[in-house]
Amino acid sequence: ILGIVGINGAGKSTLLRLLAGVYLPNAGSIRYDGRDPADAETRKDIFFLPDDPFYTSNVTAEGLAEMYRSVYDLDAQVFQTRLAQFALPANKPIRNFSKGMKRQVFVALALAIAPKYLLLDEAFDGLDPLARLTFKKCIVELVEEKGTSVIISSHSLRELEDICDSYGILDHGEMTSSGELAADISRVHKFQAAFDRLVKEEELGFACMAFEQTGKVVRFITRADKEEVLQKK
């Protein structure tokens, strides 16, 4: 399970859409076991859950499963079990669901499909704490029982620390750092600071893995010593 972390606009969603074959790269190539993700056979191995998944206006959870069954080998019993686990009605229009409930329907789909490669964009956004915990447990089960490889994007490294084996930090379309999560989590820090003027990244006095500025407010991720950063004026 790989966690991709980055601030808004870092390129997380774009990267996952490229990996899923939704976008085509301008240069270079993406391969799964030597195959292009745009190939029909390869696509069956990949399930991508975007931050804003698409559904038609009147579709129900059951109708959505029928649509996905035309592409994937979907286990209907698992899907119904997961819907019941999340207390979701199978035959009511999804458009009337809350954001969290809509997310749970697609989570149930992902678990019922049990793909070889699972790509999750801001996977836990909109889920309540219990649903989030349930989803994380289910992801681990997929990895252990089905051999699924999982890539999860998030703006929060801490959100992923209890589930991911490794991480990569994305900044402006570039992977600036990566490693084993358990070994590095205590050495990576995220800060937000306000200044009385505009500042540049190099003025901070230490290396940043990611840097974002909105007016006089900056947000950055660094491996610099936490106390050293806090003492800087």
- How confident is the model over 139-168, as a mean pLDDT? 88
- How confident is the model over 206-215, as a mean pLDDT? 81
Query: Structure tokens of 151?
Result: 């890539």
152-156, 169-173, 180-184: segment of lowest average pLDDT:
180-184
Strand blocks (E) in the chain? 2-5, 46-49, 117-121, 149-154, 166-171, 174-180, 189-194, 210-214, 217-222
pLDDT digit string (tens) for 105-134? 999 999 999 999 999 998 888 788 888 888
- How confident is the model over 152-172, as a mean pLDDT? 85
Q: Quick one: pLDDT at residue 110?
A: 93
Cα angle value 217/220/224 (rounded, 5°): 130
Read off the pTM.
0.78
pLDDT digit string (tens) for 9-25? 889 999 999 999 999 99
pLDDT confidence band for 100 (50 / 70 / 90):
confident
CA distance 139 to 148: 9
Cα angle value 41/44/46 (rounded, 5°): 120
Q: Report the DSSP beta bridge partners of residue 167.
A: 3, 179
pLDDT digit string (tens) for 52-65? 888 888 999 999 99
Question: Is 36:29 a contact under the CB 8 Å cutoff?
Answer: yes
Classified as helix, coil or strand, 3 is: strand
